[in-house]
Amino acid sequence: MFVIIFGPPGAGKGTQAARIVQAHPIPQVATGDIFRKNLREGTALGIESKGYMEAGKLVPDELVSKIVADRLQQDDCVAGALLDGFPRSLPQACFLDAWLAERGMAIGLVVHLVVPDSVIVERMGGRRTCTNCGATYHVSVSPTKVQGICDRCGSQVIQRPDDNEATVLTRLATYHEQTSPIVEHYRALGVVADVEGVGSIDRIGDHVIEAITKAFPV
Ligand code: AMP
Protein backbone atom coordinates (compact mmCIF):
# COMPACT_ATOMS: atom_id res chain seq x y z
CA MET A 1 0.00 0.00 0.00
CA PHE A 2 1.70 3.15 -1.24
CA VAL A 3 -0.01 6.31 -0.04
CA ILE A 4 0.93 9.96 -0.51
CA ILE A 5 -0.15 12.47 2.11
CA PHE A 6 -0.35 15.66 0.10
CA GLY A 7 -1.02 19.34 0.70
CA PRO A 8 0.61 22.74 1.15
CA PRO A 9 3.27 23.33 3.82
CA GLY A 10 1.48 23.45 7.16
CA ALA A 11 -1.56 21.51 5.94
CA GLY A 12 -1.07 18.98 8.75
CA LYS A 13 0.59 16.25 6.68
CA GLY A 14 3.01 15.25 9.43
CA THR A 15 0.27 15.22 12.10
CA GLN A 16 -2.04 13.05 10.01
CA ALA A 17 0.84 10.85 8.84
CA ALA A 18 1.61 9.98 12.46
CA ARG A 19 -2.01 8.80 12.87
CA ILE A 20 -2.01 6.82 9.65
CA VAL A 21 1.11 4.84 10.58
CA GLN A 22 -0.47 4.01 13.94
CA ALA A 23 -3.46 2.49 12.14
CA HIS A 24 -1.52 0.86 9.28
CA PRO A 25 1.85 -0.89 9.55
CA ILE A 26 3.71 1.08 6.87
CA PRO A 27 6.68 3.39 7.45
CA GLN A 28 6.39 7.15 7.02
CA VAL A 29 8.93 8.48 4.52
CA ALA A 30 9.16 12.24 5.09
CA THR A 31 11.72 13.90 2.83
CA GLY A 32 11.78 17.13 4.88
CA ASP A 33 12.65 15.07 8.00
CA ILE A 34 15.40 13.26 6.08
CA PHE A 35 16.91 16.61 5.02
CA ARG A 36 16.68 18.08 8.53
CA LYS A 37 18.35 15.00 10.04
CA ASN A 38 21.19 15.31 7.52
CA LEU A 39 21.48 19.01 8.30
CA ARG A 40 21.79 18.30 12.04
CA GLU A 41 24.39 15.64 11.36
CA GLY A 42 26.31 17.89 8.95
CA THR A 43 26.37 15.33 6.11
CA ALA A 44 27.14 16.29 2.49
CA LEU A 45 23.41 15.92 1.72
CA GLY A 46 22.53 18.24 4.59
CA ILE A 47 25.02 20.86 3.39
CA GLU A 48 23.78 20.60 -0.20
CA SER A 49 20.10 20.96 0.74
CA LYS A 50 20.52 23.70 3.39
CA GLY A 51 20.35 26.73 1.06
CA TYR A 52 17.25 25.50 -0.76
CA MET A 53 15.43 24.73 2.48
CA GLU A 54 16.26 28.04 4.10
CA ALA A 55 15.04 29.89 1.01
CA GLY A 56 11.78 27.88 0.88
CA LYS A 57 12.76 26.42 -2.51
CA LEU A 58 12.71 22.83 -3.67
CA VAL A 59 15.85 20.72 -3.43
CA PRO A 60 16.70 19.53 -7.00
CA ASP A 61 14.52 16.65 -8.25
CA GLU A 62 17.38 14.22 -9.00
CA LEU A 63 18.76 14.53 -5.49
CA VAL A 64 15.39 14.00 -3.75
CA SER A 65 14.32 11.21 -6.09
CA LYS A 66 17.52 9.26 -5.44
CA ILE A 67 17.06 9.59 -1.67
CA VAL A 68 13.48 8.36 -1.85
CA ALA A 69 14.40 5.45 -4.13
CA ASP A 70 17.16 4.40 -1.69
CA ARG A 71 14.72 4.63 1.20
CA LEU A 72 11.99 2.65 -0.59
CA GLN A 73 14.47 -0.17 -1.29
CA GLN A 74 14.79 -0.84 2.42
CA ASP A 75 13.11 -3.95 3.82
CA ASP A 76 10.49 -2.13 5.89
CA CYS A 77 8.99 -0.62 2.69
CA VAL A 78 8.33 -3.94 0.99
CA ALA A 79 4.60 -3.79 1.80
CA GLY A 80 4.33 -0.08 1.13
CA ALA A 81 5.07 3.34 2.54
CA LEU A 82 3.42 6.60 3.44
CA LEU A 83 5.10 9.36 1.47
CA ASP A 84 5.04 12.72 3.22
CA GLY A 85 6.53 15.69 1.34
CA PHE A 86 7.31 13.66 -1.78
CA PRO A 87 6.61 13.96 -4.67
CA ARG A 88 6.67 17.75 -4.79
CA SER A 89 6.99 18.33 -8.54
CA LEU A 90 5.70 16.61 -11.67
CA PRO A 91 9.15 15.18 -12.52
CA GLN A 92 9.29 13.67 -9.01
CA ALA A 93 5.80 12.18 -9.45
CA CYS A 94 6.75 10.69 -12.82
CA PHE A 95 9.96 9.30 -11.33
CA LEU A 96 8.01 7.71 -8.48
CA ASP A 97 5.34 6.23 -10.74
CA ALA A 98 7.99 4.72 -13.03
CA TRP A 99 10.03 3.39 -10.08
CA LEU A 100 6.95 1.66 -8.63
CA ALA A 101 5.73 0.41 -12.04
CA GLU A 102 9.11 -1.27 -12.64
CA ARG A 103 8.36 -3.29 -9.50
CA GLY A 104 4.74 -4.02 -10.40
CA MET A 105 3.38 -1.46 -7.94
CA ALA A 106 1.59 1.89 -8.05
CA ILE A 107 0.37 4.69 -5.83
CA GLY A 108 -2.92 3.49 -4.37
CA LEU A 109 -4.08 6.74 -2.82
CA VAL A 110 -3.22 10.42 -2.60
CA VAL A 111 -4.80 12.00 0.47
CA HIS A 112 -5.08 15.66 -0.51
CA LEU A 113 -5.45 17.94 2.51
CA VAL A 114 -7.25 21.06 1.34
CA VAL A 115 -6.33 24.18 3.35
CA PRO A 116 -6.62 27.84 2.22
CA ASP A 117 -3.44 29.97 2.16
CA SER A 118 -4.76 32.37 4.82
CA VAL A 119 -5.10 29.49 7.29
CA ILE A 120 -1.61 28.22 6.40
CA VAL A 121 0.03 31.57 7.13
CA GLU A 122 -1.70 31.80 10.54
CA ARG A 123 -0.84 28.20 11.43
CA MET A 124 2.81 28.36 10.47
CA GLY A 125 3.44 31.42 12.64
CA GLY A 126 2.52 29.38 15.72
CA ARG A 127 4.03 26.09 14.65
CA ARG A 128 6.82 24.64 16.79
CA THR A 129 8.85 21.57 15.89
CA CYS A 130 10.91 19.14 17.96
CA THR A 131 14.62 19.38 17.07
CA ASN A 132 15.01 15.65 17.63
CA CYS A 133 11.93 13.63 16.58
CA GLY A 134 10.18 16.20 14.35
CA ALA A 135 6.90 16.17 16.31
CA THR A 136 4.94 19.36 15.64
CA TYR A 137 2.93 21.56 18.00
CA HIS A 138 1.09 24.87 17.81
CA VAL A 139 1.55 27.51 20.51
CA SER A 140 -2.20 27.99 21.00
CA VAL A 141 -3.96 25.03 19.35
CA SER A 142 -1.78 22.10 20.48
CA PRO A 143 0.98 23.34 22.82
CA THR A 144 3.58 21.14 24.51
CA LYS A 145 2.75 20.17 28.11
CA VAL A 146 6.01 21.80 29.31
CA GLN A 147 6.90 24.96 27.39
CA GLY A 148 9.65 24.36 24.81
CA ILE A 149 9.98 20.63 25.58
CA CYS A 150 8.71 17.84 23.32
CA ASP A 151 5.98 15.69 24.92
CA ARG A 152 7.11 12.70 22.90
CA CYS A 153 10.90 12.63 23.40
CA GLY A 154 11.81 15.42 25.85
CA SER A 155 14.01 17.36 23.39
CA GLN A 156 13.92 21.06 22.64
CA VAL A 157 11.00 22.40 20.58
CA ILE A 158 11.69 25.42 18.35
CA GLN A 159 10.25 27.43 15.45
CA ARG A 160 11.77 25.93 12.30
CA PRO A 161 13.95 28.53 10.55
CA ASP A 162 11.84 28.09 7.39
CA ASP A 163 8.58 28.70 9.30
CA ASN A 164 9.14 32.48 9.45
CA GLU A 165 6.53 34.47 7.54
CA ALA A 166 8.66 35.51 4.54
CA THR A 167 9.85 31.95 3.92
CA VAL A 168 6.34 30.55 4.41
CA LEU A 169 5.09 32.86 1.64
CA THR A 170 7.87 31.63 -0.67
CA ARG A 171 7.07 28.01 0.23
CA LEU A 172 3.41 28.60 -0.57
CA ALA A 173 4.31 30.15 -3.94
CA THR A 174 6.59 27.17 -4.65
CA TYR A 175 3.71 24.88 -3.72
CA HIS A 176 1.26 26.54 -6.10
CA GLU A 177 3.75 26.70 -8.97
CA GLN A 178 5.48 23.34 -8.77
CA THR A 179 3.70 21.01 -6.36
CA SER A 180 -0.07 21.42 -6.68
CA PRO A 181 -0.17 20.32 -10.38
CA ILE A 182 0.58 16.83 -9.06
CA VAL A 183 -2.98 16.57 -7.74
CA GLU A 184 -4.39 16.71 -11.25
CA HIS A 185 -1.81 14.16 -12.43
CA TYR A 186 -3.05 11.67 -9.81
CA ARG A 187 -6.70 12.72 -10.15
CA ALA A 188 -6.53 11.59 -13.78
CA LEU A 189 -5.43 8.19 -12.42
CA GLY A 190 -8.47 8.12 -10.11
CA VAL A 191 -6.52 7.88 -6.85
CA VAL A 192 -7.10 11.27 -5.18
CA ALA A 193 -9.22 11.72 -2.04
CA ASP A 194 -9.77 15.38 -1.15
CA VAL A 195 -10.02 15.89 2.60
CA GLU A 196 -10.96 19.21 4.16
CA GLY A 197 -7.88 20.06 6.26
CA VAL A 198 -9.45 22.77 8.44
CA GLY A 199 -11.11 21.90 11.75
CA SER A 200 -10.29 19.59 14.62
CA ILE A 201 -7.28 17.31 14.15
CA ASP A 202 -9.38 14.31 15.25
CA ARG A 203 -12.17 15.01 12.78
CA ILE A 204 -9.72 15.50 9.91
CA GLY A 205 -7.99 12.30 11.03
CA ASP A 206 -11.29 10.39 10.89
CA HIS A 207 -11.82 11.53 7.30
CA VAL A 208 -8.25 10.58 6.36
CA ILE A 209 -8.63 7.08 7.81
CA GLU A 210 -12.04 6.74 6.09
CA ALA A 211 -10.42 7.58 2.74
CA ILE A 212 -7.69 4.99 3.32
CA THR A 213 -10.19 2.31 4.36
CA LYS A 214 -12.22 3.00 1.22
CA ALA A 215 -9.15 2.80 -1.02
CA PHE A 216 -7.76 -0.33 0.65
CA PRO A 217 -10.76 -2.38 1.86
CA VAL A 218 -9.77 -5.37 4.01
P1 AMP B 1 8.89 19.87 4.65
O2 AMP B 1 9.33 19.53 6.02
O3 AMP B 1 8.24 18.71 3.94
O4 AMP B 1 8.07 21.13 4.59
O5 AMP B 1 10.23 20.16 3.80
C6 AMP B 1 11.12 21.20 4.17
C7 AMP B 1 11.98 21.59 2.98
O8 AMP B 1 12.75 20.47 2.51
C9 AMP B 1 11.21 22.06 1.76
O10 AMP B 1 10.82 23.43 1.84
C11 AMP B 1 12.23 21.80 0.65
O12 AMP B 1 13.26 22.78 0.65
C13 AMP B 1 12.85 20.49 1.11
N14 AMP B 1 12.11 19.33 0.56
C15 AMP B 1 11.40 18.40 1.25
N16 AMP B 1 10.85 17.50 0.44
C17 AMP B 1 11.21 17.87 -0.82
C18 AMP B 1 10.93 17.36 -2.12
N19 AMP B 1 10.16 16.27 -2.29
N20 AMP B 1 11.46 18.00 -3.19
C21 AMP B 1 12.23 19.09 -3.04
N22 AMP B 1 12.52 19.65 -1.85
C23 AMP B 1 12.01 19.04 -0.74
Residue range 116-150, pLDDT digits in tens: 999 999 889 899 999 998 888 999 888 999 999 99
Angle between helices 201-215 and 13-23 (to 10 degrees): 50
Gap between the Cα atoms of 108 and 20, Å rounded: 14
* 170 half-sphere exposure, CB direction, 13 A CA radius: 12
| Residue nearest to ligand 1 atom 1, measured at CA | 32
CB distance 52 to ligand 1 below 6 Å: yes
CA dist list (Å): 22 to 19, 26, 135, 209: 5, 9, 14, 11
- The helix (run of H) or strand (run of E) holding residue 101 is helix 90-102
Angle between helices 44-55 and 31-41 (to 10 degrees): 120
Q: From ligand 1's centre to the CA of 143, what distance in Å?
A: 24
Gap between the Cα atoms of 57 and 54, Å rounded: 8
Distant-in-sequence, close-in-space partners of 203: CB < 8 Å, separation ≥ 6: none
Q: What is the pLDDT along the chain (218 residues), one digit of tens a residue?
A: 999 999 999 999 999 999 999 989 899 999 999 999 999 999 999 999 999 999 989 999 999 999 999 999 999 999 999 999 999 999 999 999 999 999 999 999 999 999 999 999 988 989 999 999 888 899 988 899 999 999 999 999 999 888 998 999 999 999 999 999 999 999 999 999 999 999 999 999 999 999 999 999 87
| Residue nearest to ligand 1 atom 15, measured at CA | 32
The angle at the Cα of 88, spanning 162 to 196, to the nearest 5 degrees, equals 85
Q: Would you say the pTM of this structure is higher than 0.85?
A: yes
CB distance 7 to ligand 1 below 6 Å: no
